[in-house]
Amino acid sequence: MRRLGPIVLRPWVLPLIVLVLVVPGVAAFAAVGPQLGLPVGALTVAALLVIAARATYDEPIEVARASDGRYRIMVLTRRPLDDPRTVERLVAIAAEGRDLTDATAEPELLVVAPAPASRLDRWASSLDQARDDAAAALAVSLGSLAAAGLDASGRVADPDPVQAVEDEMRGFAARELVLVEGVGLGSGQAAQIRRRLDRPVRTIGAQSSRSITAS
């Protein structure tokens, strides 16, 4: 079971929240009376419930335990890894990892491809085409990595890259995470992954001219 980390609030945030919750209701009661104070109070409570529902714990990302000395790398990409320079970079990373662990065991890569989907697609649960596109990009990537002599498998994952990492790390004992440029991570999401993941995270460029995007 994962331990939830506490939500950390700055010292000035709690008094501000109290003021926002209390002042409108008190002012409405004082100015008009219960006929306005009660609705304002109800709206304030509703707003508080919405904020609480949207709050998330900044908990560590759980990673599967390794059963051997293989160096495992998770690669997060939406682009087909078909450019020789990108593949060579992954070969170099795998070699570095092998030298750090068991030089007799071949490194293992898991290529995770978030299914690209627009907000409308996700709202309508229309992800079939997005998953087909991600699977096509994944097939190209695995072919390129196999040709380079890397032991790689792949998985189509959640459209949200952060959620994709969190989901797939539970079943894959990665020693590091490689983010390929163009995966759709904002700076805040990338920082969140680095903060929550207790192992190295590196970003590499993708020279591929092709990418899979949601229509």
Which two tokens mark 154? 């792949």
63 in a domain, yes or no? Answer: no
174 in a domain, yes or no? Answer: yes
Residues 130 and 25 placed together within one structural domain of the fold = no
CATH of the domain at 125: 3.40.50.620
Separation CA 165–CA 153 (nearest Å): 15
114 in a domain, yes or no? Answer: yes
Which two tokens mark 166? 């969190």
How many other β-carbons are positioned within 10 Å of the β-carbon of residue 129? Answer: 14
Residues 21 and 127 placed together within one structural domain of the fold = no
Which residue segment(s) compose the domain that 49 sits in?
Answer: 13-54
Q: 40 vs 210, which has greater pLDDT?
A: 40
Residues 146 and 92 placed together within one structural domain of the fold = yes
- The pLDDT of residue 87 is 96
Residues 96 and 185 placed together within one structural domain of the fold = yes
59 in a domain, yes or no? Answer: no
Is the pLDDT confidence value at 13 over 60? Answer: no
CB-based contacts of 192: which residues, under 8 Å, 6+ apart? 58, 162
Residues 45 and 82 placed together within one structural domain of the fold = no
Secondary structure class of 197 (helix, strand, coil): coil
Residues 77 and 130 placed together within one structural domain of the fold = yes
Kindly list the distances between the CA atom of residue 11 and the CA atoms of 8, 15, 21, 56, 120, in Å, as whole numbers in the listed order: 9, 8, 17, 19, 39
> φ, ψ for residue 149 (rounded to 5)?
85, 15
| Single pTM value for the model | 0.69
**Under 8 Å between Cβ of 113 and 103:** no
Residues 128 and 188 placed together within one structural domain of the fold = yes
**Strand positions, DSSP E, 15-164:** 72-76, 108-114, 151-157
Residues 140 and 166 placed together within one structural domain of the fold = yes
Separation CA 136–CA 30 (nearest Å): 64
Separation CA 133–CA 117 (nearest Å): 10
Identify which of 184, 193, 128 has the alpha carbon closest to the alpha carbon of residue 166: 193
Please write the tens of the pLDDT for every residue from 63-116: 999 999 999 999 999 999 999 999 999 999 999 999 999 888 999 999 999 987
Separation CA 109–CA 38 (nearest Å): 59
Tell me how many domains the chain contains: 2
- The pLDDT of residue 25 is 64
Side-chain-facing half-sphere of 96: CA atoms under 13 Å: 10
Separation CA 43–CA 120 (nearest Å): 29
Kindly list the distances between the CA atom of residue 96 and the CA atoms of 48, 106, 143, in Å, as whole numbers in the listed order: 50, 11, 22
Please write the tens of the pLDDT for every residue from 37-65: 677 667 776 766 655 555 555 789 999 99
